[in-house]
Structure 1
Amino acid sequence: MAIIKVVCGIIFKDDLVLICRRKPEKSLGGYWEFPGGKVEGSELYEESLLRELIEELNLKVEIKQHFFDTVHHYDKGAIELISFICSTSGTVVESTDHDQLEWVKVDDLLNWKLAPADIPIAKELIEKYSQIK
């Protein structure tokens, strides 16, 4: 079975990071995640992330750099989660895939019920972030 490529943004604003809770009726409903979505066709990862963030959150971001990739095997298949550090000056007003949005401190990320694929990214971010503070 092919691994599905998914991109996500670690979106910073005022030293906080955006996480979003999946709607209860979605797969992994109730879990928190870094926002993003599936890469379609021959899209570049960055193009896919910018598109997904506009579609889901109507949020424009500036992609700063590639951050960390991880592969996670779920019951229904595997995903490769490709993360990027981003920044925004925008405000999220609504979300199509999420029922809650929170801006949280990096050090607090593991206190949230993160989707399993997002946990290694959160751990890496906490480790790297603590080194540069």
Structure 2
Amino acid sequence: MIDVVAGIIWKNDKILIARRSKNKHLPYKWEFPGGKIESGESAEKALERELKEELGIHTKTNDFFSNNIHQYEAITINLYAYNSIYLSGDITLIDHDQVEWVSTSKLLDYDFADADLPFVYKLVNL
């Protein structure tokens, strides 16, 4: 099992979502951005590092939101989601081909990766 972290990144009552690029696992699926937790790294620090590396943005990790264990064909992930605040930086697309700031009421309009869907449903029902 791989421990992965995702950010529910808030800015002006909207959440940042990102679409995986065509050459990545789960191409064109939307997700809450983040990445793998490295050995000896806290989930919170991993999230801030991954968002800086993958999107070029600075964030502040706030409270734990939820987690989900999901089995894909070849891998099982334990996905931890945290509420985060966007602080600064211009978004640079590296592992994604598109990002959008969306209200929670619009989240169901996007084709999310299966591991992220429990977070989508929880956010929609807040």
TM-score when normalising by structure 2: 0.96
Runs (5+) with no aligned partner, structure 1: 129-133
**What's the counterpart of residue 22 of structure 1?**
20
Identity between Structure 1 and Structure 2 (%)? 40
Matches of 2:64 and 2:45, distance apart in 1:
13
CA drift of 1:63 comes to: 1.4
Which of 3, 6, 22 pairs up with 1:5?
Answer: 3
Contact 2:60 2:87 in 1 (8 A): no
Matches of 1:72 and 1:107, distance apart in 2:
24
Q: Where do 4+ consecutive residues of structure 1 move more than 4 Å?
A: none
Matches of 2:40 and 2:28, distance apart in 1:
31
TM-score when normalising by structure 1: 0.91
Runs (5+) with no aligned partner, structure 2: none
1:109 partnered with 2:115:
no
Give me the CA root mean square deviation: 1.0
**What's the counterpart of residue 84 of structure 2?**
86
CA drift of 1:9 comes to: 0.3
CA drift of 1:95 comes to: 1.8
SS of the aligned residue for 2:58 comes to coil
Q: How does 1:27-106 map to 2 (within 5 A)?
A: 27-106=25-104
CA drift of 1:91 comes to: 4.5
SS of the aligned residue for 1:122 comes to helix
CA drift of 1:96 comes to: 1.1
**Whose strand fraction is larger, Structure 1's or Structure 2's?**
2
